[in-house]
Chains A and B, each alone.
Chain A
Amino acid sequence: MQTDAIGKIVPRKEGRSKVTGAARYVDDLDMPDMLYGATVRSPAPRGRIRLITFDEDIPWDEFVIVTAKDIPGENAVALILLDQPYLASGFVNHAEEPILLLAHADKQLLERARRAVKIEIEESPPVFTLEESLARREIIWGEDNVFKSYLVDKGNVDEVLDSADLIVEGEYSTGAQEQLYIETNGVIAVANEAEGVTVWGSMQCPYYVHKALLKLFALPPEKVRVVQCETGGGFGGKEEYPSMIGGHAALLSLKAGGRPVKIIYDRAEDMVATTKRHPSLTRHRTAVTRDGKLLGMEIDFVVDGGAYATLSAVVLSRGTIHAAGPYSCPNVRIRSRAVATNVPPHGAFRGFGAPQSIFALERHFDKVADAVGLSPEEFRRRNFIREGETTATGQVIKEPVDMAGLLDRAFELTDYQAKRERFTRENADGGRKTMKRGIGFASFMHGAGFTGSGEDYLKSVVGAEAGTDGRVRLLAASTEIGQGTNTIFAQIASSALGIDYELIDMAQPDTNNVPDSGPTVASRTCMILGKLIESAALGLKQTLQGAGLLAENYTQVEWQEACRLHVEQYGALKSFSQYKPPPGVHWDDEKYQGDAYGAYAWAVYVAEVTVDLLTYETRVDDFVAVQEVGKVVHPILAAGQIEGGVAQAIGFTLYENVVWQNGRMINNQMTNYVMPTSADLPPIRVHFEEQPYAYGPAGGAKGIGELPMDGGAPAILNAIEHATGVQFTHVPLMPEALMRGLGETT
């Protein structure tokens, strides 16, 4: 019996069903009388829909056909703004924009029909890069192509830039990245006039889909039901997109008289049409003293949001706040913008803006160190933020953060100093070389939970219900997408109540049955929701104790007995808990100042690389991830998050290149967009430190889901610079670009 499950390796709640193939993902579900749905999309990146023709070859009368005219409510995907239509009518703003939907019982015939719908677009000049968008030769969104902008202004940067001993400039960029969950987007919907709309699907945020469907169908909340199925990976790629595909399936079902409609994207469609990581461009101007103290940082950060606003404002926000890193600097100005281009909207992907701005910062700081004549680590040590000091937004650090200690630990685990010296020596000694080696690091932090007042705004709620057998069912909209939600929530509740882990169940996230706990994003599930789960569970205990049915200390049998008695006497035994911000947290949305996040996880990552001089490929030989995370709730799940995130970061850095042509991803198949295989990745070695966060669950856990995405790219490129002496500034760094950078083109 496992009652003190925190920090223990308990079996994953749904582990058995996953290893036996019993776990049911949406495409495993079938319903009687079901139709399949498909989406007809724009062939051009921008223009007016001139003509839609249906080839004669197809029995169209057998098909359900939906256009924008069939939308009962508003033709807009409710998220932040309402600029993105469910179905384009009139104008298209990106290639692959949905225009029309088809459904039929025969999957084969459906695909044939999809290709038999011809869309003619009268094209307008498109904008494809953020540079073009900033240049404003074409206005494609709003008045100036800018979805959102922020200004963080601390101290007086201009004064410092005028008078500093040394100013170092740099420009850094990142490309798009595809989430590449192994399960593609998919839903099943049933919609009819009488009962409303139900959507089952692969998703991270049932209540986001719920909110979007309310608007699409002009229905009251109780008439829309959204259910999350077992989900094969999300990483942000299923944060917002399920609202779109869910709405599409529901529209088809409504038109089909309520027959269930299943839409499953194949890999090619998923890659070409759904969201990707925002490309970015960051410019740094850094003022330092001659002995390497930061005086001022001026940062210009731009992200490419694609054709519609979607989540770009929030991605920009996180990227902006993380842009100046875990350093103490008295004068900081960060100007940031999210701009529009005529490509499919970019969206959430683990890290959500921070990997982009942290890449720029940590590459730049190696450059600054070099300009001052310090080693990269000495420069960091002289500027790491400490307790009592303030971040770029003026947040006072109220915990004993020890970046230097993390750096020491990471260096110890990797033998960094010795390798740095040895590789330098070996790379320089003469003779024919087929490879060079390097070692580099990145130091960074990642804030958990929604930014600033975001959590306050969400007012997340979770519940716990005890049955007559003493089993406890947890009610939350937080989804299991592989990260371990089910397991850690059960651990937390089990530990809070002192009863066996096996007695705790997670209710399936179904908006009919669980309260709105907000989205499963922003590294909030453990830290924010875990805390609410803890208090909801404690609420059950308090109720029983308050009713005199349970003593201060009790056995599991006594617990079960108390539950039985309570339910028999009073009916359902439930407890709900709603988010309240911790005391002393203040955020100013206007000035973009204050306490941006409740807690930060802090990290130093080290990468060791070999650059092959025959093929210009880079192999990561070893990767060490050291982070301070408050409290490790489940050692294997926590390490699994870091290992998986680092793997994605390595992909982001060296392998995953989106090839664009006319505003469309043309390498939209797994053969040509490559993620690392087991043969490509290094050993990923994970080390945790714990500095409990006062308001974290399970003795002080912080959020860690996105943290591991941040450090890989800069650590690897810093290592490659060590190996080659070349200052690469863009990821992904493909062998072709490395070859050009080495000057070896003929």
Chain B
Amino acid sequence: MSRGTTREVEVNCVVNGIPHKLRVLPMARLLDVLREELRLTGTKEGCGEGECGACSVLIDGELINSCLVPVLQIEDAEIKTIEGVASGAQLHAVQEAFIECGGAQCGICTPGMVLAAMSLLEVTPQPTDAEIRNGLAGNLCRCTGYMKIFDAVVRACEREGVKA
């Protein structure tokens, strides 16, 4: 049996502010590299096809489904995962709001949802209800019916100093 001929390649990137030199197969999913190589398990797999958004991360500030990114393509990129959102013990306004408003139930969609909400507020600081619904439509939640997630986004806006 041929075990494949592709060699691992070196990929340099910055994840949550920390530079990494990875040795990986070029087509490996960024999702798996984050979870398995870097042991950043906050980013989740929900569908493996870019439908559910549980794997969302920020790549150079843009919300992206990490299950659809081959690791070769993040050469020189800056990646932020859920682990990089809080500043030490200080939670981000969106995280605080999720706790206050009940935006997380089982929590599996929450990392992706928090990043999606942060990304939305970065682009549209005072979103309307329709803009919130549209901005989060790529992140599926089976537990909440989204209502308390919308509340959390609105609460995060209301708090002072909402920043990405």
List residues of chain A with CB within 8 A of the CB of B54.
182
> Which of chain A's residues has its CB closest to B83's CB?
A21
Complex CA distance for A232 and B111, rounded to whole angstroms: 12
Q: Is the CB of A670 within 8 A of B52?
A: yes
Say yes or no: is B71 at the interface (Cβ < 8 Å to chain A).
Answer: no
Q: Is the CB of A28 within 8 A of B83?
A: no
- How many A-B contacts if CB must be within 8 Å? 170
Q: Is the CB of B142 within 8 A of A233?
A: yes
Complex CA distance for A15 and B152, rounded to whole angstroms: 13
> Which of chain B's residues has its CB closest to A674's CB?
B51
Complex CA distance for A30 and B149, rounded to whole angstroms: 31
List residues of chain B with CB within 8 A of the CB of A646.
145
Say yes or no: is A53 at the interface (Cβ < 8 Å to chain B).
Answer: no
List residues of chain B with CB within 8 A of the CB of A28.
35, 41
Instruction: Write the B128-158 contact mask toward A (1 if CB under 8 angstroms, else 0).
Output: 0000111011111111111111100000000
**Which of A11, A15, A180, A267 is close to B142, meaning CB atoms less than 8 Å apart?**
A180
Q: Which size bracket describes the interface of B in this complex?
A: 35 or more
| Count of chain A residues near B, Cβ 8 A | 61
CB distance from B129 to the nearest CB of A (A): 8
CB distance from A289 to the nearest CB of B (A): 40
**Which of B41, B52, B104, B134 is close to A19, meaning CB atoms less than 8 Å apart?**
B104
Q: Is the CB of A19 within 8 A of B109?
A: no
**Which of B95, B136, B143, B145 is close to A233, meaning CB atoms less than 8 Å apart?**
B143
Complex CA distance for A234 and B108, rounded to whole angstroms: 11
Which of A279-287, A455-463, A478-486, A693-701 lies at the binding interface? A478-486
Q: Is the CB of B108 within 8 A of A233?
A: yes
Which of A405-413, A496-504, A636-644 lies at the binding interface? A636-644
Complex CA distance for A176 and B54, rounded to whole angstroms: 25
Say yes or no: is B70 at the interface (Cβ < 8 Å to chain A).
Answer: no
Task: Label chain A's interface by main secondary structure.
Answer: loop
Q: Is the CB of A25 within 8 A of B99?
A: no
Complex CA distance for A675 and B143, rounded to whole angstroms: 12
Instruction: Write the B99-125 contact mask toward A (1 if CB under 8 angstroms, else 0).
Output: 111111111111100100000000000
Say yes or no: is B46 at the interface (Cβ < 8 Å to chain A).
Answer: yes
**Which of B52, B114, B148 is close to A636, meaning CB atoms less than 8 Å apart?**
B148
Interface residues of A in 644-684 (CB under 8 A from B): 644-648, 669-671, 675, 677-679, 681, 683-684
Q: Is the CB of A232 within 8 A of B106?
A: yes
CB distance from A138 to the nearest CB of B (A): 36
Q: Is the CB of A230 within 8 A of B137?
A: no
List residues of chain A with CB within 8 A of the CB of B106.
181-183, 231-234, 481-482
Complex CA distance for A645 and B142, rounded to whole angstroms: 9
Q: Is the CB of A182 within 8 A of B49?
A: no
Say yes or no: is B43 at the interface (Cβ < 8 Å to chain A).
Answer: yes
Q: Given A15-B104, A670-B49, are A182 and B109 neighbors across the interface (CB < 8 Å)?
A: yes
**Which of B48, B99, B134 is close to A267, meaning CB atoms less than 8 Å apart?**
B48
List residues of chain B with CB within 8 A of the CB of A23.
107
> Which of chain B's residues has its CB closest to A638's CB?
B102
Complex CA distance for A14 and B142, rounded to whole angstroms: 18
Interface residues of B in 24-54 (CB under 8 A from A): 35, 39-49, 51-52, 54
Complex CA distance for A16 and B147, rounded to whole angstroms: 19
Q: Is the CB of B104 within 8 A of A683?
A: no
List residues of chain B with CB within 8 A of the CB of A681.
145-146
Report B's interface with A, CB cutoff 8 A: 1, 3, 35, 39-49, 51-52, 54, 81-83, 85-86, 91, 95, 98-111, 114, 132-134, 136-150
A-B pairs with beta carbons under 8 Å apart, 23 shown = A9-B100, A19-B114, A20-B82, A21-B83, A21-B110, A22-B42, A27-B44, A27-B45, A30-B39, A57-B1, A59-B1, A181-B108, A182-B44, A182-B52, A233-B108, A481-B106, A640-B147, A643-B145, A644-B143, A647-B142, A669-B49, A669-B51, A671-B49
**3 nearest CB pairs, A to B:** A21-B42, A232-B108, A482-B106
Report A's interface with B, CB cutoff 8 A: 9, 11-12, 14-25, 27-28, 30, 57-59, 109, 179-184, 230-235, 266-268, 481-484, 636-637, 639-640, 643-648, 669-671, 675, 677-679, 681, 683-684
A19-B107, A182-B140, A679-B133 provided; 9 other pairs, C-beta below 8 A? A11-B99, A20-B85, A21-B43, A182-B106, A235-B142, A643-B146, A647-B145, A671-B51, A679-B137
